[in-house]
């Protein structure tokens, strides 16, 4: 007598069929040269960069998830994709990718296999395309696991990617998506069966990926702090902070959550931020905000990433607050247990005052004890020694200087970081990479090793200084 498969077996069957189709697509795609690979990557980029689709997917994302705003998502769909395409067209991933005659080494790029790409609700269109471009550049196939709220947007995005691949004669199954209904069990099964798992979003998913038994790359939690130094151009800094903080209603992990301002320029900096649309909450308004933004110590998912005027109504703010672009709350003691020192995913910016630069650095470190260690910090300054001090002393991967953090942290046209929507945070943030996710993480490397003239120093050359100081006995 035949019996229906168990729930777990159903998920295993669904994923195994997708994996099988992905491997078949890879087998066909494996015969393509570099020109063909780059054509496929360009097709994926065009699938979302095309203006009508960039808007359609942005509108769908906001409608489905309730997170962010349409104009920002259009910009993200196009700018991030364009920048990533620029980066990918400049590198080789087929055959020999590097030769070092002095060391006698030749490097060959090889695929990693079928990639399971876990994507967040905050970027249900841009992140799937970004990861697919990286994966296909390495001649892999990819299966996208959407967030439940982003399923409709992500499925439509994958449909467009498949359409463009078919248009150029490439296998559609290079890019697939988990079918509805998406749930934890199905996503977990994808993690189990894939050759590589790449996770952006929920830290629970990151931890599950690392414990899945499959090689995994996850990215850490964001909670960016930015310092305004005494030497900063305050108008420039305030303008960049406003542009960054308000982008997509602060859904980005690179959005400023805390601002530390040096005491000597504090009042002037606050006025500059007000001129750019910031509203400084009174003590009473701060409590009103706290009571709505957190419920039982956890972010209120019903109001995060909403427009400023919507938040003003929810917080029961009136007057100038109703026309604000973002809200500033002053706080004193950052550290564990302080909600205002945590990531807020909303148009709320916590402001701290520091007596001097050394104290500002200590406050940043205390904030990272709450959340965001390893991710990034920013500084607005004309004193590069202070920027260098941050880079030398703090456990962060990226230190951005005089930049709109959300725009620059995942790659910029005026900085040297590669474009990505996934920022590794090193072991500080519980990650296996301490750089921006890129195509490099989607290739295996074979080394052809030739003999070279012997490179063997004498014992005295290596131990001589040690022997002189401590003896050879």
pLDDT digits (tens, 9 = 90+) for 262-292: 999 999 999 999 999 999 999 999 999 999 9
Measured between alpha carbons, how far is 312 from 322 in angstroms, rounded to an integer?
6
62 burial level (CB within 10 Å; 0-12, 13-18, 19+): buried
Q: Is 103 inside a domain boundary?
A: yes
What's the domain range around 324? Answer: 224-412
Mean pLDDT of the chain: 96
State whether 196 and 315 are in the same domain. no
pLDDT for position 2 = 38
176 & 257 share domain: no
Q: What is the pLDDT of residues 223-265, one digit of tens each?
A: 999 999 999 999 999 999 999 999 999 999 999 999 999 999 9
Q: How many other CB atoms are found less than 10 A from the CB of residue 415?
A: 14
Residue 260 sits in the same domain as residue 202:
no
Q: Tell me, yes or no, whether 229 and 214 share the same domain.
A: no
Token pair in block for residue 227: 């310092």
Q: At what angle do helices 184-193 and 203-210 cross, to 10 degrees?
A: 40
Given this model, what pLDDT does residue 202 score?
86
Please give the radius of gyration of the chain, using alpha carbons only, rounded to the nearest integer: 24
Residue 6: pLDDT over 80: no
Whether residue 142 is found in the same domain as residue 242:
no
Residue 8: pLDDT above 80? no
> What percent of the chain lies above the pLDDT cut of 70?
98
314 and 283 fall within a common domain: yes
Verify that 201 and 318 share a domain, yes or no: no
On the 0-12 / 13-18 / 19+ scale of CB atoms within 10 A, 214 is middle
Region 81-89: mean pLDDT is: 98
**pLDDT tens-digit readout, 309-358:** 999 999 999 999 999 999 999 999 899 999 999 999 999 999 999 999 99
Is position 242 annotated as part of the catalytic site? Answer: no
Summarised one tens digit per residue, pLDDT across range 38-61 is 999 999 999 999 999 999 999 999
Q: Is residue 383 part of a domain?
A: yes
In a domain, 75, yes or no: yes
Same-domain status, 13 and 32 = yes
Average the pLDDT over 354-371 and give the result. Answer: 97
Asked, for residue 419, whether it belongs to a domain, the answer is no
Structural domains in the chain (count) = 2
**pLDDT value at 3 more than 70:** no
Please report whether residue 356 resides in a domain: yes
At 215, which CATH number?
3.40.605.10
Compute, in degrees rounded to 10, the torsion defined by CA atoms 143, 147, 128, 440.
-70
Which pLDDT value is given to residue 7?
A: 57
Residue 278 in any domain: the answer is yes
Task: Let me know whether 203 and 69 are in one domain.
Answer: yes
Average of pLDDT values for 419-423? 97
**Is residue 336 one of the residues assigned to a domain?**
yes
The two beta strands, 278-280 and 256-262, are unpaired
The CATH number linked to 394 is: 3.40.309.10
Model confidence over 139-189: pLDDT tens digits?
999 999 999 999 999 999 999 999 999 999 999 999 999 999 999 999 999
- Do 181 and 283 reside in the same domain of the chain? no
Mean pLDDT value across residues 302-309: 94
98 in a structural domain: yes
Check whether residue 186 and residue 256 sit in a common domain: no
Average pLDDT over residues 109-132: 97
Looking at 242, 253, 281, 425, which residue is catalytic? 253
Contacts 24+ apart (CB under 8 A), 205-211: 205/118, 206/430, 206/431, 207/430, 209/118, 210/430, 210/432
Q: HSE-up of 362 (CA within 13 Å, CB side)?
A: 9
Q: Calculate mean pLDDT across residues 292-299.
A: 94
Please say if the pLDDT value at position 1 is more than 60.
no
Both 260 and 401 in one domain: the answer is: yes
Give the model's pLDDT for residue 211: 94
- Respond yes or no on whether the N-terminal peptide bond of residue 181 is cis (omega within 30° of 0): yes
């Amino acid at each position: 007598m035949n019996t229906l498969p168990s729930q777990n077996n159903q998920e295993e069957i669904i994923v195994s069929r997708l994996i099988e189709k992905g491997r078949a697509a890879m087998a066909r795609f494996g015969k393509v040269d570099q020109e063909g690979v780059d054509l496929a990557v360009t097709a994926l980029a065009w699938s979302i960069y095309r203006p009508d689709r960039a808007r359609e997917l942005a509108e769908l994302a906001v409608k489905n998830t309730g997170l962010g705003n349409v104009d920002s998502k259009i910009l993200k769909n196009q700018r991030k994709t364009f920048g990533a395409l620029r980066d990918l067209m400049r590198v080789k991933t087929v055959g020999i990718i590097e030769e070092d005659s002095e060391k006698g080494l030749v490097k060959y790029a090889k695929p990693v296999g079928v990639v399971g790409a876990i994507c967040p609700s905050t970027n249900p269109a841009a992140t799937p395309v970004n990861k697919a471009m990286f994966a296909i550049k390495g001649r892999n196939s990819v299966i996208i696991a959407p967030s439940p709220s982003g399923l409709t947007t992500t499925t439509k995005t994958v449909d467009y990617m498949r359409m463009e691949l078919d248009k150029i004669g490439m296998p559609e199954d290079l890019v697939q998506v988990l079918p509805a209904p998406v749930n934890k069990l199905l996503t977990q099964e994808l993690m189990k069966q894939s050759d590589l798992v790449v996770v952006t979003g929920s830290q629970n998913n990151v931890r599950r990926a690392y414990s899945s038994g499959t090689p995994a790359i996850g990215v850490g939690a964001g909670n960016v702090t930015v310092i305004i130094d005494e030497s900063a151009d305050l108008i420039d800094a305030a303008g960049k902070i406003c542009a960054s903080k308000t982008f997509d209603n602060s859904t980005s992990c690179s959005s400023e959550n805390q601002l530390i301002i040096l005491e000597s320029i504090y009042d002037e900096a606050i006025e500059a931020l007000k001129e750019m649309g910031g509203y400084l909450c009174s003590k009473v308004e701060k409590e009103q905000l706290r009571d709505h933004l957190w419920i039982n110590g956890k972010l209120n998912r019903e109001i995060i990433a909403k427009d400023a005027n919507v938040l003003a109504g929810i917080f029961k703010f009136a007057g100038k607050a109703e026309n604000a672009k973002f809200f500033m709350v002053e706080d004193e003691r950052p550290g564990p247990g302080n909600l205002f020192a945590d990531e807020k995913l909303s148009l709320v910016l916590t402001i701290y005052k520091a007596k001097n630069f050394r104290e500002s650095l200590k406050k940043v470190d205390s904030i990272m004890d709450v959340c965001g260690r390893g991710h990034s910090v920013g500084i607005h300054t004309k004193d590069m020694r202070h920027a260098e001090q941050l880079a030398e002393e703090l456990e962060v991967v990226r230190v951005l200087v005089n930049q709109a953090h959300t725009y620059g942290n995942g790659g910029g046209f005026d900085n040297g970081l590669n474009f990505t929507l996934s920022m590794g945070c090193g072991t500080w943030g519980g990650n296996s990479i301490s750089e921006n996710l890129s195509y490099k993480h989607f290739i295996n490397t074979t080394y052809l090793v030739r003999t070279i003239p012997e490179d063997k120093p004498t014992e005295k050359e290596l131990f001589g200084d040690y022997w002189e100081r401590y003896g050879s006995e």
